[in-house]
Structure 1
Amino acid sequence: MGINSVFIKNNEPVSLLRYWTTRYLLTLVIGLLIIGAVSAYWIKYAAIEKQIEVTRLFAEEVADRVVDDVGNILVGEKLHQVLDNRRKFMGVDRNLILFIEDVKGKVVYSRPTKLPPPLQQAAPELLKQADMRDKVRHPSGETLYVIRKNLEFNDRIIGEVILLFPETDIKVGKEEIQYLVIMLGSLGVLGWAVIYFHARKLSEPIQNVVMSARQIVEGNYDVLLNKTIKEKEIHELVHTFAEMADRLRQLESMRTELLAGVTHELKTPVTSISGLIQAINDEVVSGEEQKEFLEICLKETKRLQKMVEDLLDFNSFAVGAITVCQEEQNVNKLVREIASQWQIVNDLGHVTFTVGVLDKQTMIYVDPGRVQQILINLLNNAKQAVGGKGSIALTLYETDTDLRIDVKDDGPGIPAKEQPLVFERFFRGSNKKDKVRGLGLGLSYSRMMAKALGGDLLLANSTSEGSVFTLILPMRKEQSEEIA
């Protein structure tokens, strides 16, 4: 008990809106952080490339300035002023370090003129590395980018310009960072708003279904649900739930009717038997009347026993405990025998009964007892439908895949609103409740038995001109020959 309580407490469910909004927001934040990191790296890379390009242009400018018309390298105080002006104009950072070497590798000019002692000591090694690399390491540990430009005269190299600028001097524009922050922030707010409103829209019909389910638990089956939903899965959920609620309402109504019906149906024979036996016991009747009363008691007892057996059989059938003993049968002969037996037992009076079979002898594997139960029940229902006058037809025919037996009557038919319920257990139509006594299990039994045989039982048609029930039997084995 304690473990279960802790488990439920630690795993308390949250609303769909909160669940998906929180997880989407977390995913969105992680995604935006990754995008931000990649974007920042790209902005930094673009700034480095821009700085390198500008410094390369400055190196070309320096190369053009220091070589005169006869191929000499000119350096001096005037060069300082020219280079400072050009560097300011081109936006090259003032921390730039400039070296000019002659063809022998000797430094003939440097800017600044007096290098810091650590850099002055490391200058030869830096210049040596600069000839082979695009980056070198400052004595302080800082990374320096290297830009080289050859000094040429008449297609002959007479020296080299070497520019070094620290990585820390590469500045990323504030506007670019601001744009990035605004863009990521806007995407975050927009993404959160989208998932919030979509999750809210998604959760509303589900919440309505939950509220309706609670109403059903409390016994209220008249629930109202909005079925005009565009999302296919949610629409199917709501539509299916509404159908389930309607079905439960019908079953609840049938259950109520069942309790009243079973009570009435079982109470009537018990009351009748009790009254008749009491009359015999009190010697109110004697002789032939006493014998007649006992016969009535026996008849009512058998009917009461049949009702109880129906209820017990239905419980067995409902859990699939239907025994089927299939054997090879001539289906024409089987149908004729069942029709003949039913006709002998029942006084048809003014009811016309016809039987139609196949034009060939067809052998199938089937349980003849179960087929008889189904057909007798259908024929009894047809007789009740036509009353004392009408026609009943029992017709056997085959399709490409199975054999079918139709039981047709010309009675008043089944009301359209009751047709979907005719195979429901304990359902009794409005035309039977006050005329025929029973529990409303006949058609449910029959369909269960038909399915156990591998077939089915259908209400093929029902109008004001009559009804047709169809028993479908699988044609597993067939041996036929034409009748001469």
Structure 2
Amino acid sequence: MKKNSLVSKLLMTFTLIIATCLVVIAIVLSVWFENYHFNQRKQQLDLQAALISKERINVYNGNSQLEDLSSVANYVSLSIGADIVVTDYRGVAISSSESKQSLLRTQIIDSKNVEDLKSGKSIEDRNGKNRAFGDSQYVYYKPIMYGDTFIGSIVMTTPLEQIKGQLKQVYTIIWVSILVALVISSIIIYYVCDRLLIIPLAKINTAAKRLAKGDIENRVYIRSKDEIGELADSFNTMAESLEEVEKNRREFISNVSHELRSPITSIKGFIAGILDGIIPLEKEKYYLGIAYEEIQRLTRLINDLLDLSAMEAGKLKLNVSEININEIIRHCTISLEQKIKEKRLKVDVVLEGQNLYVAGDRDRLIQVVNNLIDNAIKYCNENGNVKISTRSKGNKALISVYNDGATLTEKEKTYIWDRFYKSDKSRTNKVSTGLGLPIVRHILSLHGEDIWVENKTGDKGVIFTFSLKKV
């Protein structure tokens, strides 16, 4: 695992968080158990102190002797593992267990503690410092009350080492458990991260590197419903898009090569024939005319490619103004009159009113209308019909161009907007570049408008309709 890898950072972060939580839990448990242990000790001392208090009251009433009190204190001392001293109301030792006989008749409770004990409250000293009993002692003071009268107290001392020795075992268990839990959680986190993050991300990383080297068919297969699965799906979608782009690029290069090669080959052949004297002198003008037509075809192709590239790159700027779309339709129809006459077509122009003003770039909309009418002429049979119409719908002007040629299949409806696509290559190979409709769609998209195609219902023919914003 790399030092700066995502998993190592996650592992360190989660381990630190878990370690912090476990340490806090361990501290809380340690403090709680220590308090619990001392409270249990206190309850035990209170219980045993009741026996001594009873005997001290008997002594106070003259029903018993101090020797009897010492015997009870010694018995209790052995049973609870604590040294015991019984004092009078002044804090002077009057009886004790055998281990504390040396303290008899000495002041072992200071005046401040005596005053506190007179109120009937017990005193607990965990600090382990007492001038009478020395350091490192747990001292517990229990008052002896006869009715409301304070007649003495019981002082019980236990070495802190004895108490903390029991606590150390618990502390050891707690901290060892915390350490084991931390190690186990770190191992679990690592393997979970390895399964959920490292392996999937490694697959995606490897696939990305292979994709960068040109392996566009490579895919990542990760069955996961989380963000990693979404990332893999997004990667596969990107790879499919790149594969489609690469496919289109190859098709584009192939189409451009074909479209350029054909006229260049014709021009080269005719010129070579003239230079070599193969073509008779009286035929030179005819073949030069064909070469000129091929040059015009090349010019149209190059201009269309430049326009399309500029549009796709977003470099084409529109000069939007108020224009009369009816006038443009009349102008374009007249400019194509020669082609219409050659195919003996019947053209019906139905316009809404004399003028229909829209917002758009005049030159580009002329290009749109000209391409659509020219396209209708190409795909219309001889003696066929072409209809051009305009109408309003809300704040939009709808312009339709109809020809009664063959209808389009669903596949053709999808691909006619692709570059170099020709639905009937045998009829249009010499007169069409296959870029007209893609250019039309891009121009209208730049205007924020749309174009769509439909087969005429219940009759033959195809209708192209596009929208423009009315002024």
TM-score, length of structure 2 as denominator length: 0.76
Question: Pick from 272, 281, 300: which aligns with 1:278?
Answer: 272
CA distance in 2 between partners of 1:155 and 1:460 (Å): 109
8 Å CA contact 1:58–1:87 kept in 2: the answer is no
Q: Which structure 1 segments of 5+ residues have no match?
A: 1-11, 479-484
- Give the match's secondary structure for 1:219: coil
Q: Per-residue deviation at 1:217?
A: 2.8
Q: Which residue of 2 aligns with 1:33?
A: 23
* Pairing of 1:89-108 with structure 2 (within 5 A): 89=79, 92=80, 94=81, 96-108=82-94
Which residue in the other structure is 2:38 paired with? 48
- 2:330 aligned partner: 337
1-structure distance, mates of 2:382, 2:12: 73
Q: Which moved more, 1:360-369 or 1:393-402?
A: 393-402
User: Structure 1 residues 56, 346: closer, same or farther in 2, change over 3 A?
Assistant: farther
On the 8 A contact 1:102/1:159 being kept in 2, the answer is: yes
What is the CA–CA distance in structure 2 between the aligned matches of 1:121 and 1:401, rounded to whole Å? 110
Instruction: Report the Cα distance in structure 2 between the residues aligned to 1:21 and 1:463, rounded to whole angstroms.
Output: 66
Secondary structure, counterpart of 2:221 in structure 1: coil
Greater radius of gyration (CA):
2
Q: Does the residue aligned with 2:142 lie in a helix, a strand or coil?
A: strand
Q: Does 1:197 align with 2:192?
A: yes
Alpha carbons 1:148, 1:162 under 8 Å: kept: yes
Distance 2:50 2:327 in 1: 111
* 1:266 and 2:260 are equivalent in the alignment: yes
Offset from partner CA, 1:223-246 (integer Å, 9 cap, x none): 243364312x33332223222222
Amino acid at match of 2:184: V
Aligned CA distance change for structure 1 residues 150 and 340 (closer, same or farther; 3 Å): same
The verdict on how the C-alpha distance between 1:273 and 1:57 changes in structure 2, with shifts beyond 3 A counting, is same
- For 1:469 and 1:227, locate their aligned partners in 2 and report how far apart those are by CA, in whole Å: 45
Q: CA deviation at 1:401?
A: 7.1
Query: How far apart in 1 are the matches of 2:103 and 2:384?
Result: 124
Q: Give the Cα–Cα distance (whole angstroms) in 2 for the partners of residues 401 and 48 of structure 1.
A: 89
User: Corresponding residue for 2:205?
Assistant: 210
User: Which one of the candidate residues 304, 311, 326 is aligned to 1:310?
Assistant: 304
Query: Relative to 1, partners in 2 of residues 1:50 and 1:13: Cα closer, same or farther, differing over 3 Å?
Result: closer
The Cα of 1:408 is off from its aligned counterpart by: 6.0
- Aligned residue for 1:154? 147
Once residues 446 and 122 of structure 1 are traced to their aligned partners in structure 2, the CA distance between those partners, rounded to angstroms, is 110
Please say if 1:113 is aligned against 2:100. yes
Q: Any idea what SS the aligned residue of 1:25 has?
A: helix
Partner of 1:226: 221
Distance in 2 between residues matched to 1:441 and 1:52, nearest whole Å = 98
Shift of 1:428: 2.7
Preserved CA contact (<8 Å) 1:100 1:110: yes
**What is the alpha-carbon distance in structure 1 between the residues aligned to residue 229 and residue 345 of structure 2?**
50
Offset of residue 411 of structure 1: 3.8
Contact 2:371 2:437 in 1 (8 A): yes
Task: Kindly indicate whether residue 446 of structure 2 is the aligned counterpart of residue 452 of structure 1.
Answer: yes
Amino acid at match of 2:255: G
Out of 318, 342, 347, the residue aligned to residue 340 of structure 2 is: 347
CA distance, structure 2, for counterparts of residue 390 and residue 228 of structure 1 = 58
Considering fraction of residues, name the structure with more helix: 2
Question: Structure 1 residue aligned with 2:129, among 107, 132, 138?
Answer: 138
1:415–1:97 distance in 2 versus 1, CA, 3 Å: same
| C-alpha displacement of 1:74 | 5.8
What are the equivalent positions in structure 2 for 1:232-247 lying under 5 Å apart?
Answer: 233-247=227-241
**Contact 1:325/1:366 (8 A) holds in 2:** yes
In the TM superposition, what is the alpha-carbon distance from 1:369 to its structure 2 partner?
A: 2.2
Percent identical among aligned pairs is: 21
1:253 to 243, 247, 257: 247
- Work out the number of aligned pairs and report it: 454
Deviation at 1:183, TM superposition (A): 6.6
Indicate conservation of the 8 Å contact 1:422/1:428, yes or no.
yes
1-structure distance, mates of 2:230, 2:13 = 26
Structure 1 pair 467–235 and aligned structure 2 pair: CA distance change class (3 A) = farther
Change (3 A) 1:308 1:149: same
Offset at 1:366? 1.9
SS of residue in 2 equivalent to 1:113: helix
> Do the aligned partners of 1:44 and 1:172 also contact (CA within 8 Å) in 2?
yes
Aligned residues of 1:71 and 1:153 also touching (Cα < 8 A): no
For residues 113-162 of structure 1, what are the alpha-carbon distances to aligned partners after superposition, in whole Å with 9 as ceiling and x for unaligned? 24689xx8986489569769743551699565554433222333323334
Aligned to 1:481: none
Residue identity opposite 1:299 in structure 2: E
**Matched AA of 2:44:** V
Distance 1:243 1:440 in 2: 29
Unaligned 5+ segments in structure 2 are none
> What is the Cα deviation at residue 371 of structure 1?
2.3
Q: Give deviations 1:324-364, integer Å, cap 9, x for gaps.
A: 11112345x25643663476354284767666666897644
Counterpart residue type for residue 239 of structure 1 = D
Structure 1: distance between partners of 2:48 and 2:394: 93
Give the secondary-structure state (helix, strand or coil) at the position aligned to 1:53.
helix
- The equivalent position to 1:326 in structure 2, one of 307, 320, 331, is 320
